[in-house]
Amino acid sequence: MAWKIALAGIGKIARDQHVPSIAASRDFDLAATVTRHEGVDGVENHADIEAMLAARPDIEVVSLCLPPVPRFEYAAAAIKAGRHVMLEKPPGATLAECHALEAMARNAGVSIYATWHSREAASVEAARNWLADKRLKSLKITWLEDVRRWHPGQEWIWEPGGLGVFDPGINALSILTRILPTPVHLAGATLKFPENRQTPIAADLAFRHPDGAEVSAVFDWRKEGDQFWNIEAETDRGTMELSDGGANLSIDGAMVEASDVALEGEYPNLYMRMAEILRTGGIDMDLSPMVHVADAFLLGKREIVAPFHE
Amino acid sequence: MAWKIALAGIGKIARDQHVPSIAASRDFDLAATVTRHEGVDGVENHADIEAMLAARPDIEVVSLCLPPVPRFEYAAAAIKAGRHVMLEKPPGATLAECHALEAMARNAGVSIYATWHSREAASVEAARNWLADKRLKSLKITWLEDVRRWHPGQEWIWEPGGLGVFDPGINALSILTRILPTPVHLAGATLKFPENRQTPIAADLAFRHPDGAEVSAVFDWRKEGDQFWNIEAETDRGTMELSDGGANLSIDGAMVEASDVALEGEYPNLYMRMAEILRTGGIDMDLSPMVHVADAFLLGKREIVAPFHE
C-alpha cells in the first residue's frame, strides 16, 4: 500500500526532483499539489494549503518544497490537520520555528522529517565510514557554482531569510555534519554581500575541531565554467576526496565504488527514508547544518562586494 | 563549606557585579582571577587560564565573564580540567560551541550553567506567574539605552560576534522566553548597522505567536536621556507592565510587590542558583534567548545607518 502525498510549492526543485522521485516510488502516490502558480499535469491542484487539507482528508503526508520563509505556515497547518510532514532543506527560516514544528509534531503524534538531500549522495556514507577510525588533520570544503545557472529567477534567495550562497552551502554542511565523527563549531567567518542584495554571494568559514584539525569551507556563487562541490580530508592514514557534491569518493587517489542502494539517487533515497520514518512513527529533525549557517550569520564579518545583477 | 571559585575576565561586569556578589555569598570564596590586565585587590591573579588550572587544583568552579568570542577556549579548558563552569550571557559566540560545551560537561561529569541575569530581576517570576493562565493579545518589548553610557570603551561589542544592541537585547529575550507560557519564533526583523561597524546599533523584531498574539521588540542603543527597559503585555484579563529591566511589575496600573528572595539582586541570585546546580550535579544550558538572536541575524533585513563614533 502506498501513502497518498501532497506536494506544496511547485518550483524548480519540485519539478526536477520531487515529482519524478514520487512517481518512481512504490511508497507514495502524488495525490495533489498546492501552488498558486502552474501545477503538475494530471494532478489535482489547490491554490491554498488549508483548502487542500479540508478537501483531501485521505492525504496522509505533505511534502513541502517552498522557499524557507513561507514554509512554517504550511507545515503548521499540515501538522494541525494531523498529517505527516517532510521538509525540503533548510527546514525553516529560523531555528526557533523548527523547534516549534518538532514540538507540534510530537504533540500531534505525527512524523516530521527535515531532509538533507546531499547526505543521500552516492558516496557520503562511504566517506563517513572511512573517516570513522582515522585522526583528522585537515578538511577543506570547496563549493563553487554559478548562481545564474542553478538559481535562475529565484529572487527569494536574495531576500532576508533566503540564505544566499548558504542555500547550496548548507548542502556541504549537511555532509560535513554527517561524515565527521566529532562535531566542530564555527570559529570565524567572512560573508560577502553584494551591495544591492540582502544575502551573501560568497563566504569563507573556519571551524574549530576538538583535536585541532584545520577545518574550513569556501562557498562562492560567482564561479563560471567548471563547477566544484568537493570535500578533501587529510588524516593520519591517508587522504580522501569526496567530489561532485558527494557522488564520488577517492581514497589516496583511487576511486571507491558506491553501493547499489546509495546509487538510487538523492531524492529517491529521501522518499525511501520518509517511508521508513512513517512505518516506525519517528521524528527526524537534525538541525545541525542550519545551526552552522545561523552561527555564520551571527559571528561572520560582513563585507560589501560588487552588486549582483542576474 | 564554600566552594573556591575563580573569575576569568575582569572587566566592567566582573567588577560591578560578580566580585561583590561572590564577596557577599556564603557559597563561594573568590580564590583566583584570570586576566592579562588589572586583577582584583588581594586576590591571586593568573594571566592564563591553563596556568591557573594547573596551579590551583583546589579551585572547583570557574566563572567566565569574558566577551563571548574568547569564552569557549576558557570554558573548554576548565571542563577538561574537571572544573564546574558558570557562563556570563551570552554563553558563547556560536550555538554550536554551546552545544559542544554541554556535551563536554556531560562527558566530564561536571556542571555547566548558562546564566541569564535579567531572569533574576525582582519581578520576572511574578510576571511569569501572572501570564501563566491568561490569553495573550499582544506583547511589546521596548529596550532603549545609551551605548556610550553602558558600554564605554567596549570595542568588542562592535566586532563580529559582539552582538551589538543584542548584547542588552538578549536580556529582554531571556525574560521573554522565561515569562511566556508558549514559545514564539521570529517572523521578521530589521537590523540597523552603523556604516563603520560590524554589529547592529538598533533592531526591530516581530515574532509569531501560536495563538496569533502580536509580539514585537524594539532595541535601540541611540537613546539619550531617560532609559527604557520595558515589557508590556495585553491579555484577555488585564494588562501588565514589567519595567526597569524586570525590576518592577504593575498589573492594570497597580504596582505589585516583589518577594524578598527576588529582591536579593540579579547576580547574587545567579550565584545562589549556581550553588543549587552544584549540589544536585545538574546542567542548565537553556539557549533559547540566543536562538532568537541567531535567528534575527539569519532572517533580519540589514539596513546601513549613520556611522557610530564613541
Q: Percent of chain A, pLDDT > 90?
A: 94
Asked whether the predicted pLDDT for residue A224 surpasses 80, the reply is yes
What pLDDT does residue B258 have? 78
What pLDDT does residue B5 have? 98
Asked whether the predicted pLDDT for residue B263 surpasses 90, the reply is no
| pLDDT tens digits along B143-158 | 999 999 999 988 999 9
Measured between CA atoms, the residue of chain B closest to residue A177 is B96
pLDDT, mean of residues B228-235: 98
| pLDDT tens digits along B12-48 | 899 999 999 999 999 999 999 999 999 999 999 999 9
Is domain A121-259+294-305 in CATH 1.10.357.10, yes or no? no
What pLDDT does residue B259 have? 73
Among partner residues B160, B208, B298, which is closest to A294 by beta-carbon distance? B298
| pLDDT tens digits along A157-168 | 999 999 999 999
Contact A96 B183 (CB under 8 A): yes
A206 has a chain B CB within 8 A of its CB: no
DSSP string computed for chain B: -PEEEEEE--SHHIIIIIHHHHHH-SSEEEEEEE-SS---TTS-EESSHHHHHHH-TT--EEEE-S-HHHHHHHHHHHHHTT-EEEEPSSS-SSHHHHHHHHHHHHHHT--EEE--GGGGSTTHHHHHHHHTTS-EEEEEEEEE-BHHHHSTT-GGGGSTTS-TTHHHHHHHHHHHHHH-SS--EEEEEEEEEETT-SS-SEEEEEEE-TT--EEEEEEESB--SS-EEEEEEEETTEEEEEEGGGTEEEETTEEEPPPTTGGG-HHHHHHHHHHHHHHHT-EE---HHHHHHHHHHHHPEEEEE-----
Asked whether the predicted pLDDT for residue A78 surpasses 70, the reply is yes
Q: What's the pTM?
A: 0.96
| pLDDT tens digits along A93-138 | 999 999 999 999 999 999 999 999 999 999 999 999 999 999 999 9
What pLDDT does residue A56 have? 98
Asked whether the predicted pLDDT for residue B262 surpasses 70, the reply is no
Give kind and range of the element (H or E) at residue A97.
Answer: helix A95-108
Q: Say which CATH superfamily domain A3-114 falls into.
A: NAD(P)-binding Rossmann-like Domain (3.40.50.720)
Contact B210 A300 (CB under 8 A): no
Contact B298 A301 (CB under 8 A): no
B97 has a chain A CB within 8 A of its CB: yes
How far away is chain B from the Cα of A198, in angstroms, using its nearest Cα? 7
Average pLDDT, whole number, for chain B?
96
Work out the burial of residue B79: count CB atoms within 10 Å of its CB; fewer than 13 is exposed, 13-18 middle, 19 or more buried. buried
Q: Percent of chain A, pLDDT > 70?
A: 99
Among partner residues B184, B295, B302, which is closest to A294 by beta-carbon distance? B295
Tell me the three-class secondary structure of A19-58, residue by residue. HHHHHHCCCEEEEEEECCCCCCCCCCEECCHHHHHHHCCC
Label residue A264 by pLDDT band (50, 70, 90). Answer: confident
Q: Does the bond joining A289 to the residue before it have cis omega, within 30 degrees of 0?
A: no
What pLDDT does residue B296 have? 98
Measured between CA atoms, the residue of chain A closest to residue B164 is A298
What pLDDT does residue B1 have? 78
Best to test chain A binding among B73, B195, B299, B304 (most A CBs inside 10 Å): B299
How far away is chain A from the Cα of B183, in angstroms, using its nearest Cα? 7
B79 has a chain A CB within 8 A of its CB: no
Pairing of strands A84-87, A61-64: parallel
DSSP letter assigned to residue A1:
-
What pLDDT does residue A85 have? 98
Q: Which residues of B touch A186 (CB under 8 A)?
A: 94, 96-97
Task: Based on the residue annotation, tell me whether B89 is a catalytic residue of this protein.
Answer: yes
Among partner residues B72, B97, B183, which is closest to A100 by beta-carbon distance? B183
B302 has a chain A CB within 8 A of its CB: yes
Best to test chain A binding among B72, B80, B95 (most A CBs inside 10 Å): B95
A185 has a chain B CB within 8 A of its CB: yes
Contact B96 A288 (CB under 8 A): yes
Measured between CA atoms, the residue of chain A closest to residue B71 is A187
pLDDT, mean of residues A170-186: 97
Among partner residues B103, B292, B300, which is closest to A160 by beta-carbon distance? B300
Range(s) of chain B covered by CATH 3.30.360.10: 121-259+294-305
A150 has a chain B CB within 8 A of its CB: no
What pLDDT does residue A262 have? 66
Around Cβ B56, how many Cβ atoms within 10 Å?
18
Q: Which residues of B touch A100 (CB under 8 A)?
A: 183, 185, 210
How far away is chain B from the Cα of A222, in angstroms, using its nearest Cα? 21
For chains A and B, what is the number of CB pairs under 8 angstroms? 101
Among partner residues A93, A161, A298, which is closest to B94 by beta-carbon distance? A298
Half-sphere exposure of A109 (CA within 13 A, CB side): 0
Among partner residues A72, A183, A294, which is closest to B100 by beta-carbon distance? A183
Catalytic residue list of A? 89
Asked whether the predicted pLDDT for residue A260 surpasses 80, the reply is no
Contact B185 A302 (CB under 8 A): no
| pLDDT tens digits along B56-110 | 999 999 999 999 889 999 999 999 999 999 999 999 999 999 999 999 999 999 9
How far away is chain B from the Cα of A141, in angstroms, using its nearest Cα? 18
Tell me the three-class secondary structure of A184-244, residue by residue. CEEEEEEEEEECCCCCCCEEEEEEECCCCCEEEEEEECECCCCCEEEEEEEECCEEEEEEH
Contact B96 A292 (CB under 8 A): yes
Best to test chain A binding among B71, B74, B94 (most A CBs inside 10 Å): B94
Q: Which residue among B89, B140, B223, B301 is the active-site one?
A: B89
Q: Which residues of B touch A185 (CB under 8 A)?
A: 72, 94, 96-97, 99-100
| A122, A258 Cβ separation under 8 angstroms | yes
Give kind and range of the element (H or E) at residue A6.
Answer: strand A3-8
Distance between terminal CA atoms of chain B? Answer: 46
